[in-house]
Amino acid sequence: MAIAPPLDFGAALLRGTTLSALVRALREAGIDSAPIDGRVLLCAALGIDHASLVRNPGSPLGPGAATLASFASRRLRREPVSRIIGRREFWRARFKIGPGVLDPRPDTETLVEAVLDHAARFPRENWRILDLGTGSGAVLCSALQSLPGSSGAGVDISFDACAIARENLAALGLESRGLIVCGDWTNALRGRFHVIVSNPPYVASGAIARLEPEVRDHDPRLALDGGEDGLAAYREIIPALPGLLAPGGLIALEVGSGQYPAVESLLCGSFECQVEVRLDLNRRRRVVLARDGTRAET
């Protein structure tokens, strides 16, 4: 499908009519989320909220017109809105993202839900949480926010990701309870954690070219490529987890479509555990949960 030419927004144009033109252009470019994208981009470019847009559709764009034109051009080239505005709403907070981190998506909130359900079933005051492949730190930060007595560590091999995760911890006032470690999965980790979570790369190498351009062209390949069958990261991570998991602790791993049986087998082959699955918003098997049921939690 041909991409519409860049839009030219002048400062005198009105907010409401400009939004309509932007949404129309995005739809013509085949972008299904055009109404939401257009509204978010316009508000971000003008520095206003949605309520202000609704109250004052007849106000001129003003000096934000040039920024909006740039935003529109980038979205028409299929750059995700979250990357254009530099942030992503996830769980109950706003997270900075950048080229070096995976854009956290709503399906990954299933990981957070699983952790909090486990915490409600087995209450304690001092949860210790490990997030492997933390990226922006969205999962770790969300868990720490929701469990006030918790502390945790996020590990990522990317220095860019570690820098952004530290910024997000600081922005949310969590730096005293969260530590970001640049490293290769579980190498050099010590101690025991009550919860270990991970959203590792799980796309088969050969399937990356077939992903939506918003993912294929903008998420870092390091955060996507799971090897020939998409399971390389799980094979590396899972054998090390029993040595890091506290008695009675929880392992929560995000998985791709059709990967649940293989990841379940890897978990059961590494230690004696109870395994279940969580469905995401689209009713797909998204998170594999394994709880060490052989020892009482301390």
Task: Map out the domains of the chain as residue ranges.
Answer: 15-77, 91-291
User: Measured between alpha carbons, how far is 190 from 187 in angstroms, rounded to an integer?
Assistant: 9
pLDDT for res 5: 52
Residue 180 has pLDDT above 60, yes or no: yes
Strand 274-279's sheet: what is its strand order?
A: 178-182, 151-156, 128-132, 193-198, 245-254, 285-291, 274-279
Residue 42 has pLDDT above 90, yes or no: yes
pLDDT for res 173: 97
Q: Is 255 exposed, middle or buried (0-12, 13-18, 19+ CB in 10 A)?
A: buried
CA 79 from chain center: how many Å?
16
pLDDT for res 188: 77
pLDDT for res 295: 52
User: Measured between alpha carbons, how far is 216 from 220 in angstroms, rounded to an integer?
Assistant: 8
Closest CA to 43 of 29, 28, 30, 54: 54
Percentage with pLDDT > 70 across the chain: 96
- Record the tokens describing residue 68, joined without a space: 């909006």
pLDDT for res 2: 44
CA 33 from chain center: how many Å?
19
User: Measured between alpha carbons, how far is 230 from 226 in angstroms, rounded to an integer?
Assistant: 4
Residue 245 has pLDDT above 50, yes or no: yes
pLDDT for res 1: 41
pLDDT for res 136: 97
Residue 297 has pLDDT above 60, yes or no: no
CATH superfamily of the 91-291 domain = Vaccinia Virus protein VP39 (3.40.50.150)
In 201-273, the DSSP E strands lie at 245-254
Please report where in the chains the tokens 């949605």 appear, as a residue.
Answer: 50
pLDDT for res 293: 67
Q: Which residue has the higher pLDDT, 271 or 195?
A: 195
Mean pLDDT in residue range 46-71: 94
Is the separation of the CB atoms in 147 and 116 below 8 Å? yes
pLDDT digits (tens, 9 = 90+) for 100-124: 999 999 999 999 999 999 999 999 9
Q: Give this prediction's pTM.
A: 0.91
Mean pLDDT in residue range 239-267: 95
pLDDT for res 3: 47
pLDDT for res 294: 57
Is the separation of the CB atoms in 107 and 257 below 8 Å? no
Is the separation of the CB atoms in 25 and 5 below 8 Å? no
User: Measured between alpha carbons, how far is 68 from 26 in angstroms, rounded to an integer?
Assistant: 13
Is the separation of the CB atoms in 132 and 163 below 8 Å? no
Mean pLDDT in the chain? 93
pLDDT digits (tens, 9 = 90+) for 204-234: 999 999 999 999 999 999 999 999 999 999 9
